[in-house]
Structure 1
Amino acid sequence: MKSQTLYIDTLDETVLWRNLKEGDEKAFSFLFEKYYGHLVRYGNSFSPFPEKVQDCVQDVFTDVWVYRQSLNDSVVVKAYLLSSVRKRIARLQERDHIFRKTTSMDSIEFLFDFSVEHQLISDEATEEKVSHLNELLNNLPTRQKEALYLRYHQGLSVEQIADMLQVNYQSANNLLHRAVVNLRKEWKGDLSLLFLLSSSLF
């Protein structure tokens, strides 16, 4: 365990990805352990069937290992894995007719429930306000909500979000901007909470 921890601490993800491509099982195992939970939670935002989501995530990692030599050298690992899970779930839903057939994810509802209490609540007095903020976040249009999730919860750049959503940079930036504008329209409380959220997005 100590040697595994040392290995993890001394290599960045660019090196880990390169090592994985060269067949390093420790690099693969580390990336699996680091991102498996994130990917499952993201996948669950598109599907009410957690077992199928877990299968999709495992299939993504299987493909990463099997086809590792043909993978792009320069990737942002987190963004690549999230995008791969998104595409695989879309194909699964299309195949199983869970949703109407589509060549994109545009018609699929993003089911994730925002809950930002642990980041924004500083005392009990703000609990009701943050609860209202969560409600506003969860009532956003699905594409705005997903863009906000990818930026706020997953820390992706606007460029990475655009790539995942298969839109151009300006469209992704517009989704984020409209999400914040919509929140500001409905928000009746202290603007400092919205400012804190907005500053973390841009």
Structure 2
Amino acid sequence: MQQPDPITIEKEDAYLVRKIKQHDELAYYRLYQKYSSKIYRISRKMDLSHHDAEEIVQDVFLHIWKSRERLDESLSINAYIFTIVKTGVLKKYKKRARFVAYQQYAVPMSQEFSTNTEDKVIFEDLHDFATEAINNLPVKQKEVFVMKNIQHMTAEEIASQLNLSVRTVENQIYRATKSLRKKIETSQGVSYSLVTVLIGLLN
């Protein structure tokens, strides 16, 4: 099946944005038809429930309509929508504070996202900031945290391998977790993916 011409898509998007700025509800509905399923799909891939993904779709288009007079037809509406989606997903993640750990994302999501630019950006942000956040932990905390949360070792196994007491290992895990939770709580203004990966690692 022949793929749509990117130039044609951009021209159509620019036309729809121009009409929406003029309060054209039909153009608004056409934009909804064009992007709603894509927004829903991305939201679901980021582990949101059906209900939350539908709310993301609604929130995106409510935001677009409310800010219609400020839209810029010379800019990519696709990129603009993606930015709103990222913000919405962050809010959902913060609200429920429940994620799949990084290792569960690594193989299946990197493969599945390989054909989708927006999804790949999300995954790469998760990977990069996870590495940076853990590397900033004190050496002993980092070592124990990685063994517990990424290598999925028990406190007893870690204690045996590092020649430490189980109590010491548990204390290091607690300190590392507390440190990362503090980063999350003070992460105002950080992109959604940088926050979500930290929460994911704490599951």
* Higher RCO (C-alpha 8 Å, min separation 6): 2
Q: TM-score, normalised by structure 2?
A: 0.46
Query: Which structure: larger Rg?
Result: 2
